[in-house]
Amino acid sequence: MAQFLLMLHQAPNYNSDLPREKMMEMTRKYIAWADGLRQKGQMVGGEKLTASGGRQLRSSGGKLVASDGPYAEAKDVIGGYFVLEAKDLAEAEALTRDCPHMALAPGNWAEIRPIEDMNKVRAAAG
C-alpha cells in the first residue's frame, strides 16, 4: 500500500450561494465518501484549510521575505487535503473520482500526489 496526498483546489467561498437543500445534499455525499474511506481504512486523515489569512515565505537575495496569501480574492486556493491509502495511483484516482468536491462548483479540481515511501527509497539506496 502507498499513501497519496489529495489536494482539493477551489475558488474561496464557492459554495456560499447553494440553496439549503442542495448544500445539505452535498454535505451528505461528502460525508458518505469520507466515512466510507475511513471505514475501509483508506483515509489516513485530512484537514480543512482556511481560504485566507495565511503567510507565504520566500528567500529573496539571501533574505526571507514574508507576504500575505493566499487572499480570499484568489481564484484558486487549496481548500483542504486528505491523505489516502491506496495500492497504486490508479486506485487513488478511482477513490478520488467518487469525491463530490469536483461536482460542487465548476472551478473545483483535485490534485493527487504520491507520497514518497521512505522505506522504499532507503531499500533502493541499499
Partner 1 sequence: MEATVHRLVDALARDSASRLVAALARRLGAGRIAVAEDAVQHALVQALSLWPFKGVPDRPEAWLATVARNRALDLLRSEARGVLLAEELVPTAPANVESEGRFDRELNDDELALLFAVCHPALSPEMRVTFALKAVCGLTVPQIAAGLLGEPTTIAQRLVRARKQLEASNVAIETPPPDVLADRAEAVRTALFLMFNEGYSASSGEALVQPEFCVEAVRLARALALHPVTRSPASDALAALLALTAARLPTRVGPDGVAQLLEDQPRALWDRSLIALGLAHLERSARGRDLTVWHLRAEIAAVHALAPSTAETDWARIVAIYDQLRTVDPSPVVALARAVALGRARGPAEGLAALPAPDGNPYSHAATAIFLTELGRTDEARGHFEKARDLARTEPERRLLERRLRS
* Rounded Cα–Cα distance for residues 37 and 8 (Å): 16
Q: Judge contact between 81 and 47, C-beta under 8 A.
A: yes
Does 4 engage in binding with partner 1 (CB under 8 A)?
no
Does 19 engage in binding with partner 1 (CB under 8 A)?
yes
**Shortest distance, position 87 Cβ to partner 1, whole Å:** 23
Does 31 engage in binding with partner 1 (CB under 8 A)?
yes
The C-alpha cell of 67 is what? 507576504
Amino acid occupying residue 79: G
Q: Judge contact between 13 and 86, C-beta under 8 A.
A: no
* Rounded Cα–Cα distance for residues 16 and 23 (Å): 9
**Shortest distance, position 80 Cβ to partner 1, whole Å:** 6
The C-alpha cell of 125 is what? 539506496
Among 15-23, 61-69, 85-93, 109-117, the segment contacting partner 1 (CB under 8 A): 15-23
Site string for partner 1, 106-125 (x = CB under 8 A): --------------------
Site string for partner 1, 76-95 (x = CB under 8 A): ---xx-x-------------
The 8-class DSSP code of residue 107 comes to T
Residues in contact with partner 1 by CB under 8 A are 13, 15-21, 23-28, 30-36, 39, 46-48, 79-80, 82
